[in-house]
Amino acid sequence: MRPVSHRRLTLRVEAADVAQAEALLELAGASSLSLGDAADDPILEPAPRETPLWPDVEIRALFPGSTDLDAVCALLERSCPSAHAFTTGSLDDDEWRAAAQRGIPARGFGRRLWLAPANDPRVPAGLVGIKLQMGLAFGTGEHPTTALCLEWLDAALEQGATVLDYGCGSGVLAIAALALGASRAWAIDNDEQALIATRDNARLNGCEARVEVCAPESLPALRVDVVLANILAGPLVSLASQLASVVVPGGSIVLSGILARQAAAVAAAYESWFEQIAMHDRDGWTRIDARRRSG
């Protein structure tokens, strides 16, 4: 009998509550999210920069097999009033990997980046290609929070920069940074499956020698040119001093996973250390980027 590595939760919400429901599911530990029309279910997930137009949206979330989905449902019922029609099930490793591969369409980000599934060798002329085997971790560029970070890397990363990807998920941000000219990257996550996926993806892209993958408690003391943290607003606020201490004077911090209504509070938590704070919104989510003060 195959082991059950993941559990599946499906629910329906009103379109206006999708961003809130996604944030709650990610906070509860979701490994992957996909959206569809609750009536017709025509697609797996809307493309980046697109907002679901359906009045009633079905969200499918995958969680580690040990997750208490009853507690997750209770959280959603309390905090997202339109959430309803909860169903749960199990997924073994083979089913999960097959579903993950179906959910990663090849596409471009910014001017230079091209992300594609591991089995798709095509890269359009003039673009920098990255292959991604999602494995058991969240982060394929499909979600606006990740897309916003990839676009920052494409537009602003300096050649030879050192990068910390805090909450690396699939490792896509660290690997994209290396592909775009970073000299070295550190990728950390408190989810062992995310560390496995990041190492696998680094090998797939031939950059494993330039990225160190570890849990937060194993991260060595370091200073880097860029910190990328695509997590959630609460942890970003609590980690402000720690993340600030890692960025060299004049370096950059890029924060994502933030609901638009939370952006001001997150930005305020970093004002003591950073200047030139900018916010970029998409589909109810915000990316904050800023420059480390010289003092």
Per the listing, tokens 């998409």 go with: 282
pLDDT at 8 over 70: yes
pLDDT at 292 over 70: yes
Per the listing, tokens 């990997």 go with: 97
Yes or no: say if 128 and 169 are a contact pair by the CB < 8 Å rule: no
* Helix, strand, or coil (residue 85): strand
* Whole-number pLDDT of residue 176: 97
Q: Torsions phi, psi of 228, nearest 5?
A: -110, 125
Overall average pLDDT of the 184-210 stretch: 92
Yes or no: say if 100 and 142 are a contact pair by the CB < 8 Å rule: no
CATH number of the structural domain 139-292? 3.40.50.150
Yes or no: say if 254 and 226 are a contact pair by the CB < 8 Å rule: yes
Q: Torsions phi, psi of 25, nearest 5?
A: -65, -40
Q: Where in the chain is the domain with CATH 3.30.70.120?
A: 4-100
Of 177, 188, 187, the C-alpha closest to 155 is 177
Stated pTM of the model: 0.72
Reported as a single tens digit per residue, the pLDDT across 119-138 is 888 999 999 999 987 554 45
Mean pLDDT estimate for the chain = 84
Structure-token pair, residue 225:
């040119």
Overall average pLDDT of the 179-190 stretch: 96
Reported as a single tens digit per residue, the pLDDT across 15-67 is 778 878 888 887 788 877 776 655 544 333 344 434 444 577 888 888 877 78
* Whole-number pLDDT of residue 99: 55
Of 150, 146, 133, the C-alpha closest to 200 is 133
* Whole-number pLDDT of residue 120: 84
Residues 6+ apart with CB under 8 A from 151: 109, 110
* Fold of the domain spanning 4-100: Alpha-Beta Plaits (3.30.70)
Between residues 75 and 48, the one the model is more confident about: 75
Q: Where in the chain is the domain with CATH 3.40.50.150?
A: 139-292
Reported as a single tens digit per residue, the pLDDT across 77-90 is 988 889 988 998 88
Reported as a single tens digit per residue, the pLDDT across 235-275 is 899 999 999 999 999 999 999 988 888 899 999 999 999 99
Most confident among 94-103, 116-125, 141-150, 199-208 (mean pLDDT) = 199-208
Q: What percent of the chain has pLDDT over 90?
A: 46
* Whole-number pLDDT of residue 143: 73
* Whole-number pLDDT of residue 50: 45
Most confident among 25-29, 94-98, 109-113 (mean pLDDT) = 109-113
Yes or no: say if 226 and 251 are a contact pair by the CB < 8 Å rule: yes
C-beta neighbour count of 106 within 10 angstroms? 15
* Whole-number pLDDT of residue 51: 44
Determine whether 124 is exposed, middle or buried from the number of CB atoms within 10 Å of its CB (0-12, 13-18, 19+). Answer: exposed
Cα(115)–Cα(42) distance, integer angstroms: 23
